[in-house]
Amino acid sequence: MTVAETDGIGEHRLALQSALGDDIVLTDADAMAHYCRDWHGDVTSGAVAVLRPRSTEDVAASVRICRELGLGIVPQGGNTGLVLGAIPDMPERHVVLSLERMNRIRKIDADDFSAVVEAGCILWEMKEAIAEKGMFFPLALGAQGSCRIGGNVSTNAGGINVLRYGMTRELVLGLEVVLPDGSIFDGLSTLRKDNRGVDLKQLFIGAEGTLGIITAVSIKLMPYPDKVATALLGLASLQDAISLYRRARRDCCDLMSAFEFMPPLAFTLAREAMPDLPILIAPDYPAYVLMEISGSGLVDIDDLMQRFLEGVMTDGLVVDGTIAASQAQARNLWLIREGMNEGQARRGSHMRSDISVSLSQLASFVADAEAAILQALPDCISVSYGHVGDGNVHLNVLPPAGLAPDERAERIYRAKTVLNEVVDRYYGSISAEHGIGRLKRPDFDARLPETHRKLLTAVKRAIDPGLMMNPGCQLNFQPKS
């Protein structure tokens, strides 16, 4: 950083403080560090300042002063994203705008099956408050204790319940957004049906803050599903898991809420992170499925699970299985899934992916991709797991222990290259649920059809002509100089 740039930062900080006040503007490097580091700790950056508005009007004022100063704004929720969508890549030109203080639940209306919440609400806390009213918000993902609903909407988060309830997009009834010109888009209606023309709010869902800053969300609620049956099943192959999913969709109708597949390695990894975790099934079947059926009211969920499993075991589709006999046992089954992630993290930096292909091709995709990686990187291990119903696989590649950092980085880079080549062959998506952020921008950019690019650029320039909203995220809209 040159002296002139440092001076520029100083002036910008003074201007921000004078416009917004010390309560909102953080500039201390230590205090800012937490907002400028990604969830995995892979990347550390900085910012001109971190702004922490308490209200929609504060956000609007923040946008106006940043615009005046020519600063880019990187909106941030719980900072749990996995693709560097909320971390500035030009510390001397960007501010982070954290929504964490806008965390009020404005309304939970059980009679109306809706709620209005501010962007900074932590997903889990919000779900707990909703559950207290007998209602349910189905979004469920690993980071739910830290992620915030504004970030979930901005990234159109997925998670384990998508097969039944859809992505976050399908759970949103309305949005309040501060636009790049500092005006407030008030679309917080809770109407279930509203067909008044082009649905503008859709633009901001999944835009990762590149078109405006989501400050509040109205959402759909469901009756709380107080009956849950959870089973861990051992199968002869991933292909059988897919056949099982199809059968479960028909047999269990719309009452299935999760259907996750895992390899046997999941148990090893989970035990590395949680040595005392009970494993209630033989750990050496070629494939496992963690399945959940849930509901409320008059449907006997336990009986449904029992009869379903009897049928598929009789037919040989499932080789072995265990149904959780208590909530604690169900929790332990889910801990295998979570422990597997923690176990991977303990093996050091590795390649993570988030791919979707068509359901029909999921098994052959995993086989082809794992074979390609084994051939290119014989000393690495592939771990494939994910959401069968969504054709969504997280195929991760773990380099062996004892490699030097640059050797690990080289393995990770090559693994990604090999994997993406297979993804392209299957017409798959390189981001099923995590978004693009800055991490996947080059891969996204390289695959973007020309018509998509023109349309995306036209929309971006129409709504954010100053290109100040989350610059560098998703696409670099700067004209090439």
**Residues from 209 through 228 that contact a copy of itself (CB under 8 A):** 210-211, 222-223, 225
Choose which of 66, 238, 289, 436 interacts with a copy of itself (CB under 8 A): 436
> How far is Cα 207 from Cα 155, in angstroms, rounded to an integer?
7
- 250, 327 Cβ separation under 8 angstroms: no
Choose which of 433, 439, 470, 472 interacts with a copy of itself (CB under 8 A): 433
User: Does 18 interact with a copy of itself (rule: CB under 8 A)?
Assistant: no
Closer to a copy of itself by CB, 296 or 329: give it.
Answer: 296
- How many positions of this chain bind a copy of itself (CB under 8 A)? 94
SS3 of 299-356: the string is: CCHHHHHHHHHHHHHHCCCCCEEEECCCHHHHHHHHHHHHHHHHHHHHCCCCECCCEE
- 58, 100 Cβ separation under 8 angstroms: no
Query: x/- string (CB under 8 A) for a copy of itself, residues 352-391?
Result: ----xxxxx--------------------------x-xxx
User: Does 412 interact with a copy of itself (rule: CB under 8 A)?
Assistant: no
> How far is Cα 35 from Cα 45, in angstroms, rounded to an integer?
9
The least CB distance from residue 145 to a copy of itself, in Å, is 22
User: Does 169 interact with a copy of itself (rule: CB under 8 A)?
Assistant: yes
Site for a copy of itself in 132-161 (CB under 8 A): 155-156, 158
| Of 231-239, 280-288, 307-315, 408-416: span binding a copy of itself (CB under 8 A) | 307-315
> How far is Cα 299 from Cα 314, in angstroms, rounded to an integer?
24
Site for a copy of itself in 76-115 (CB under 8 A): 109, 111-114
> How far is Cα 151 from Cα 213, in angstroms, rounded to an integer?
10
User: Does 183 interact with a copy of itself (rule: CB under 8 A)?
Assistant: yes
User: Does 478 interact with a copy of itself (rule: CB under 8 A)?
Assistant: no
133 CB neighbour count, 10 Å cutoff: 14
| Of 16-24, 123-131, 144-152, 182-190: span binding a copy of itself (CB under 8 A) | 182-190
User: Does 431 interact with a copy of itself (rule: CB under 8 A)?
Assistant: yes
Longest CA span, the chain: 75
Give 278's contacts (C-beta < 8 A, 6+ positions apart).
332
CA atoms within 13 A on the CB side of 397: 29
Site for a copy of itself in 262-301 (CB under 8 A): 295-299
> How far is Cα 226 from Cα 135, in angstroms, rounded to an integer?
10
Closer to a copy of itself by CB, 40 or 192: give it.
Answer: 192
Closer to a copy of itself by CB, 92 or 443: give it.
Answer: 443
Q: Write out the E strands in 388-455.
A: 392-398
Closer to a copy of itself by CB, 11 or 254: give it.
Answer: 254
Closer to a copy of itself by CB, 327 or 360: give it.
Answer: 360
Strand arrangement, sheet containing 105-109: 105-109, 114-118, 213-220, 172-178, 184-187
